[in-house]
Structure formats: structure tokens, C-alpha cells
Structure 1
Amino acid sequence: MFQRILARYGGGVHEVAVVAMDSVVPFDFGVPLDTFAWTGRYRVRVCGPRRTVRSELFEIKVPHGLDLLSEVDTIVLPGHDPDLAVPRQVVEALRQAAARGTRIASICTGAFAFAATGLLDGLRATTHWRGARELAARFPSVEVDPDVLYVDNGQFLTSAGAAAGLDLCLHMIRHDHGSAVAADAARMAVMPLEREGGQAQFIVTPPATPQGAELEPLLRWMEANAGRDLTLADVAEHAGMSTRTLNRRFREQTGTTPLQWLHRARVRQAQHLLETTKDSVELIASKVGFGSATAFRDRFKRIAGTSPQSYRTAFQGCRS
């Protein structure tokens, strides 16, 4: 069924429905409306379970009911407050549309409504990094990947928060109509057709430092001395315990090892320097305690999901 629908993508107008529910996120809601419309290849309409939808900032008069979902090729679920129950009629309408082969995509916390249908069970999916842990807890049958910008399972697609919805829309446009059409839409959005790296590069999360925990003074010392060539033995000596005891305490209180915690502290310091200075990557690697620029680039890529230079370009807008 889905393949028959895909056969229609190459010609004619592609029908898109954006579902509006109470607490809809304005940015997530607007992205598919504009992005698809810029191409001239899509007819985009808004529908919902109610004719008046309230967000935190405004009310929306919804022109179509959920029966629209039986007529379209693609359904987009923008983000909404994940603590609000998904209306039963929305769940049923999405399941029926899926059975007909309709493509369904979610943006940001729209993944919660998507997962509530059961359609994502057994599949990989993503959402905004701040909601990823909650999505995984509520829907254990869904394989939640918090590090990517979007996930394409074919008929079902999910994206991370905010601008990642634009990445997903451009991805669908490119799939439907080719790179040239998608590139035109990207130029209208003043953004690249493809962004390097995943969601991890946008997550500013310092290494875990549990307040009041036994290791808190040690963690503060490690962060302050991250630029030194610290070994596990150095950290254990400063803590006044054996390396075995140190590893056990770290696992208990931070969920990781001393060296892994130190690597994250160093990468976070490097991110700050990449954002605020013109220092070379080699100099930054030395400043934050990596023995070589190669080791630094490898560790930075593992933790941040992109290269130091790409991170600098994205967050400072310059090249060194």
C-alpha cells in the first residue's frame, strides 16, 4: 500500500495534513506549513480533534476535522505538551491512516502522540533531547535515539526538537522530489540542506556532579584540573582511595568511570573555547588536557556527534 502512495510522489500535488492539538508548539507547527509550501509541490492543510486549539501564546481556528487524515499522503504531528493525554480520536485516526499506507512524521514532542498509537513499537525513533528519557520510559517498546536529528523508518519518521523539524521536512522533500527541489526549500529557509552531526552537538550538559554527594569535592577538583595530564592513579591519590574503590564510587554516584567523566568535562570546556575563541583546534586540544589533536578530535566526535571544526562553524559562524 505504501509503495503505491510513493508512486504518486513524482507528479501532481502531494497532500499534507498538519495535526493541531492543544498546547501545540508554535515553531513546530509553522515549520511544515512553510517548508512544504515553498516548493509549490504540496498542498498543506491543518486539521485537529477540535475546531479551536489553544497553545500557550494563542488560539488557532482549525479548518478541518480528523477526517482529512483519510485523504492525504503525509501527516505531520508537531510538538505539544507531552503531559497532556492524546485524544482517543487522534490515536484511532492515525492508526487508520497508517493502515492505508499514509506517511506519518513527528516533530519534537510530537513523538509522544505518535508513540501513543503503538505504530513506533519495535522501531527506532527520536524526539527533543530533553524529552528522550521520558519517551523511552513511557514507551519501552520504542528504541529512542537521543543523538540524531531525525530517524527515517520509511513510512514512519521522527525528528528532534525545533530546527530538526526543518531538517526532517527537507529530507522528505528530497525523497519525494529530488535534491534540487529540496535545495530550493533550504535556501528559502536560509539553512543547509544537510547539517553535519546529530542532536548531541546541541546538548549543553556538564558532566554529572551530584550535589551533596561524597564525590562532589573530587569532581570539582577534576573539572578545575581537566587541562592537566591526569591519570586514574592521580585522581585516586587526590581522593585518598585505591583505584578500585574510586571506580566503584564513581559508578555508584555518577553512573560512569572517572576517565569517562573527565573526558566529558574536557569536551565541554573545548566546546566553550570553540564558541568563544579563535584558538586553533590543536591549541584547544592542549588546553583542555588531550595529549594530541587526533585524540581530541576522536573523543569530541564521540561525545558531541560532530567534529570540532564543524561545531565551531555551527556555533561561532567562522572558520579558523
Structure 2
Amino acid sequence: MNQQTFLYQPKISDVMKNINKVMIGKEEAALLSIVALLAKGHVLLEDVPGVGKTMLVKTLAKSLDCEFKRIQFTPDLLPSDVTGVSIYNPKEMEFEFKPGPILGNIVLADEINRTSPKTQSALLEGMEETSITVDGNAVPLKDPFFVMATQNPIEYEGTYPLPEAQLDRFLLKMKMGYPTASQEMEMLSRTSGGHPINEISSVITRDELVALQKEVEEVYVDTTVNRYIIDLVTGTRNHEGVYLGVSPRGSISLMKAAKAYAFVHDRDYVVPDDVQYLAPYVLSHRMILTSEANFEGATPESIIEELLSATSIPVKRNISE
């Protein structure tokens, strides 16, 4: 990695400061969002209403000098409402493509489970292929392209839960959680005279963000750490309480997330601690448990913690300093 890497680290700190001005007690969610952004992945935020899911995405988007688009998913939303549509122009006597909101840099997919699977697929195609299909033609998406989707876990009527194959498209899945009493008091104080999001400005340009993402790709991962990742993923496939284990895409995602996490912490190499910290966020939504495990109260997170405890940790790091 070149020395320019560390010139960008203050920029990442500036983004964290912006988010902390608006969000109280959400440092971990902010950090994970930045990790996913730098790793060129996407985030699924699942939590109850009113805990700041949408506000986190808005604050992150406002901190970046990139085009922000929001899609409010509803039962009547059509795929063309996401991707865009070709409209006939009688003056020019030809069809003109009107791009949809997915053609932004930072896309908020709000309440993604409230729309039909057909419309969900229009978004998920772009997330996986970095292009969309319009009238049989492939339309490339902008660079950078980052999706943060939200969903409400407690309202199931009129919703279309994302199947596991589609959940696999998200780099990581996380929850926000309720604030503590003192954090909520601070929240009331900050918002009494206007919302603090109106006071922040962008601190990273689009070109700087693209450069950061390229630097993350150069972070070194030793073969022992890669073997550790594979051992964890293989453990999910062989566990008696798991019906469907983590796919190879999950292995790649965990490696990419670990590289971004190391980069954020001013390191140009990945250590096993990075993998351990990120494993529950990257792997849990890629697993299906058996009915027996569900009956016994097991969760994907608890099984991952079990595997982390049982899998030997590489102790020797073979890198050139």
C-alpha cells in the first residue's frame, strides 16, 4: 500500500464525527456501515421503527459528495419504478431512457420487505451485477454504488420477507437497538432546536471514496487468515443445527469486510480479531437452521459464537513489514 492510504484516514474519522453529531450511541452501526461501503458491499438494517435506521443512511449519504437516492418500497411499486423506463419522445421520434433511483451512488431502500419479490429482484440484480436490465439491455450502475436497505421485523402483514438466496447479496446485516436512558435524554436535547443533520456537510468526494475502495483492495490477507475464514464457513455447513450453511460468497464477503475493517483501523493487513468481530454480522443471515435447532432456541448468532470458540485461531502472522 502506498503512503496516500494514511492521508485518507482523517477523512474516515470526519465521517464518523458527522454520524456521531446526528446519531447518539450508534458508533458500532456507523463503523460497520463505513466498512461495508469501503468493501463495496451492501447493508441490511433490520430493527423496530424509530431507532434511527433511515437517519443513519441519510447522515452517511450527506457526509459523502455523492448522488443520494431513496426508494420507498410499497406493495404497488413496480420494477420500472426502481430501474427506470424508456419513454417515447415524439419530437425526436425515438425512445429515451429515464433513469430510476437505482442509478444513484448511495441508495436507501426503505422497508425493502414491503414490496413484491419481482420488484425486490430489480434492486438485488443491481447489487450483485453492478448493472440492471432495461428493455433487454444492460445498463451499468454508477461507481461507487452502495445500498443500505431497511426492514421492520415486527410487522409481517402485507410484507414479503427476503428469501435466504437474496439475503446473501448483502455484505452484512445488523440491528440498531434502543438507546439508553441517558442517550435518549441527549437526543431530546439535541433535537429541541432543530435537527443536527442540517448542520453537517460532505467530507469525502466521490473520487476520494473510489480511491479509498481501491486502497482497501490492497490490504494484505495472509493464507493462515484465509484458512481461518474457510474453517469457520465450513463449520456452518457441517454443524448439526444448520440446515443450510454459508455459501462461498459468504467466505469472500467475510474476507472483503475484514480488509475494510483493518483499513479503517490504520492497518494494511488483516488479523484474526478482525474476522472474529465481523463474523456474526457477515455470516448469520446466510444460514438456515434446522427445525430442531430453532425449537431448542438456537440462533445463527449463537452457532457462530460456538464455532468461533471451537475453531483454532492462527497465531503466526507471516507478512513483510
Structure 1 length normalisation: TM-score?
A: 0.26
More strand by share: 2
Name the structure, 1 or 2, with higher relative contact order (CA <8 Å, separation 6+): 2
Structure 2 length normalisation: TM-score?
A: 0.26
